Every structure is written in structure tokens, then in C-alpha cells.
């Protein structure tokens, strides 16, 4: 039988999200990438330093124990095949069991998300992330300036999500943008029992929930938080939506517009996803963060 990733949580990740290639990236020229490729080739024997999403990947792969291979992480990169040597060698040096990768040498990599059946795509390239979202795949632009993840929970993977325009559709957010806070509260209170439509990251939440339901593996646990600017009474619709989906989060923070960064610092997620640039920039000062770009005309 052919090999399949169907029963696994599949994460596709770019090289700059997994490793710190910021120095190499400064010499990159899309019109003539030869200097970049030459530099990477010169450094084949030099292991790359871990990047922003490295702790997330390490913990995801830690759920694979023995026959219970629950997670697959695949490199999906605009790098050339020679640079792939350095990437896989660096992963091996760090003890990461990465086996698969697609390296397109400057061509669009996001088209390979479909055959992979990816539940998440992480990249430092904003255009690739936007195209992936357009195709219907959960994707976020990794803020490479984010601080590193905390080390207080080595056996617990922690992921935090914003609500509107991330887990949920941007319906309510558009009401807020056009009508202000009072219109938003009125809208959400009147529709408290009506579930919100799916947001771009619902498939990832569902996949994580399934991983969580499978129980601990190799001593690893999963904890999920909803961190939203909503407050009472608008919190009801968010909770009712999750209940309707038969999905759950372990923690919920209804912050009513308070800055999210300090709260995320206390939760210590291995990654946080938000669509608002202000919130994600605040978060990046405390935790690894990714920007989920809102799609034009999204429902």
C-alpha cells in the first residue's frame, strides 16, 4: 500500500520559520539568488540556529512515540535543493526527525499544500501565506523577530488562538470596523445562539482537538487557549460556536481590548495566531507569534 499522511496532523513549514536564516536572507536577491545559494553552500557543515517555530516543531514531533506516529512535519521551502542539505543536516544535528521536504528554488511552494493535506503552513514569506489562505489552508506569517518560547513546560505543547477572523469568520469583526463597539455588542448579543461561520484556522483546531483526544503520547500533553478581545456579553457567541462545533479549548481569555501580550507571557504558548497586526506585534515581544492575514471579502 502507498504511504499516506491521512491520519496524521500535518504541518508544512518554511526554512526561515524553522531555522534562523536572517543573516543569509540579507544577501538574498530574487532576481539573482546565486549569492544566497553560494553562502548556504559554504555553510553546509555549519548547523543553523533554531528559529521562531523550532520549539513548536520539536514539541509536535515529540507526540510521535513508537508505533503512534501522530504528527508529520514537512519542509516546504523556496530554497534550492543544495540548501536542503544544510536544512536536513541542521535538523539532524538538533535531533529533529524530519524526513520529507519540497524545495522549489524560488518557485511558489504553497501549491504543494494540497497533496500534503496540510493542517498548517508556517512561513516568513507573506505572499506565500496569503496564497495558502486563499486556497483554504490555515497559514500564518511567522514574525521572525518574536522572542523564543518559554521552557517551563517541556512536556506540554501550548497553542493560543485569536477568535474573530482566525478560529471564527470575520463577520463580527467587520461589524465592529464599520459600526463601532456598540454595534458589535448589539450584533453579537442578538446572535448569541447562532454559531459563527468557520474561520481559516478551524481545521487546525479540529486537528489539534483530535490529537488531544487520542491521549498523551510519550509523556506529551496539549493545551489550547482562546485569547480574544471579546468581553461579556459577546463572549457567549464564541463559546456557543465552539460547543456547536464539538470542539473545546482549555483556557479562554476575554480581554475586552486589553493588550494581549502580557497575558500571553503568562500562558507561555509555543505559538500564538492573530489577524490584527497590533495584537500580533504585542504578542511577539513575549511569545512566538504569527500573523493570519485577513482575506478580502471573507465571509
189 and 273 belong to one structural domain? yes
Same domain? For 137 and 164 the reply is no
Q: What is the CATH number for 70?
A: 3.40.50.1000
Active site residue 80: no
Mean pLDDT of 136-145: 97
Domain count, the chain: 2
Given 142, 174, 201, which residue is the final one in a domain?
A: 142
Last residue of a domain, one of 142, 164, 182: 142
pLDDT tens profile 27-80: 876 677 788 888 999 999 999 999 999 999 999 999 997 777 899 999 999 988
- Statement to judge: residues 232 and 276 lie in one domain: yes
Q: What range does the domain containing 174 cover? A: 156-291
For residue 285, tell me if it sits in a domain. yes
pLDDT for res 6: 84
Q: Are residues 120 and 184 in the same domain?
A: no
pLDDT on residue 173: 86
Query: Is 13 in the same domain as 138?
Result: yes
Residues 109 and 191 in one domain: no
Other CB atoms within a 10 A radius of the CB of residue 60 amount to: 27
| DSSP at 140 | E
Q: Alpha helices, DSSP H only, in 66-125?
A: 81-93, 113-116
CB 288 within 8 A of CB 53: yes
Q: Which of these is catalytic: 80, 128, 162, 275?
A: 162
- Tell me what pLDDT residue 295 has: 65
Residue with cell 453579537: 188
- Give 163-183 pLDDT, tens digit per residue: 999 999 999 988 888 888 888
Reference 14, options 42, 55, 63, 53; nearest CA is 53
What does pTM read for this prediction? 0.93
Q: What is the DSSP letter of 220?
A: B
pLDDT at residue 299 above 70?
Answer: no
Cα distance between residue 210 and residue 246, in whole Å:
11
> Using CA of residue 56, residue 222, residue 293, residue 265, what is the dihedral sign?
negative
For the segment 207-213, the average pLDDT, to the nearest whole number, is 93
Q: Determine if residue 213 is left, alpha or beta; phi over 0 gives left, psi from -120 to 50 gives alpha, anything else beta.
A: alpha
Rounded Cα–Cα distance for residues 147 and 33 (Å) = 29
Percent of the chain with pLDDT over 90: 75
| 4: in domain | no
Taking only the tens place, the pLDDT of each residue in 239-285 is 999 999 999 999 999 999 899 999 999 999 999 999 999 999 999 99
Amino acid at each position: 500500500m502507498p504511504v499516506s499522511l491521512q491520519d496524521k496532523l500535518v504541518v508544512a513549514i518554511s526554512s526561515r520559520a524553522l531555522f534562523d536564516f536572517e543573516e543569509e536572507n540579507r544577501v538574498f536577491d530574487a532576481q539573482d539568488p546565486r549569492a544566497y545559494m553560494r553562502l548556504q553552500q559554504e555553510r553546509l557543515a555549519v548547523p543553523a540556529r533554531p528559529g521562531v517555530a523550532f520549539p513548536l516543531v520539536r514539541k509536535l514531533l515529540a507526540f510521535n512515540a513508537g508505533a503512534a506516529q501522530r504528527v508529520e512535519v514537512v519542509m516546504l521551502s523556496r530554497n534550492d535543493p543544495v540548501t536542503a542539505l544544510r536544512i536536513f543536516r541542521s535538523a539532524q544535528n538538533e535531533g529533529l526527525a524530519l524526513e520529507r521536504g519540497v524545495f522549489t528554488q524560488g518557485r511558489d511552494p504553497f501549491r504543494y499544500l494540497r497533496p500534503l493535506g496540510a493542517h498548517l503552513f508556517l512561513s516568513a514569506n507573506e505572499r506565500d501565506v496569503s496564497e495558502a489562505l486563499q486556497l483554504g489552508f490555515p497559514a500564518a506569517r511567522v514574525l521572525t523577530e518574536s522572542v523564543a518560547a518559554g521552557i517551563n513546560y517541556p512536556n506540554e505543547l501550548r497553542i493560543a488562538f485569536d477568535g474573530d477572523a482566525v478560529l471564527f469568520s470575520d463577520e463580527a469583526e467587520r461589524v465592529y470596523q464599520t459600526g463601532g463597539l456598540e454595534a458589535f455588542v448589539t450584533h453579537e448579543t442578538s446572535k448569541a445562539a447562532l454559531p459563527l461561520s468557520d474561520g481559516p484556522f478551524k481545521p487546525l483546531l479540529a486537528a489539534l482537538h483530535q490529537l488531544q483526544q487520542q491521549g498523551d503520547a510519550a509523556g506529551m500533553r496539549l493545551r489550547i487557549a482562546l485569547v480574544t478581545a471579546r468581553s461579556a456579553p459577546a463572549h457567549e457567541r464564541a463559546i456557543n460556536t465552539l460547543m456547536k462545533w464539538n470542539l473545546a479549548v482549555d483556557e479562554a481569555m476575554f480581554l475586552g481590548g486589553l493588550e494581549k501580550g502580557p497575558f500571553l507571557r503568562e500562558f507561555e504558548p509555543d505559538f500564538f495566531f492573530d489577524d490584527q497586526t497590533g495584537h500580533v506585534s504585542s504578542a511577539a515581544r513575549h511569545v512566538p507569534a504569527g500573523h493570519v492575514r485577513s482575506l478580502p471579502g471573507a465571509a
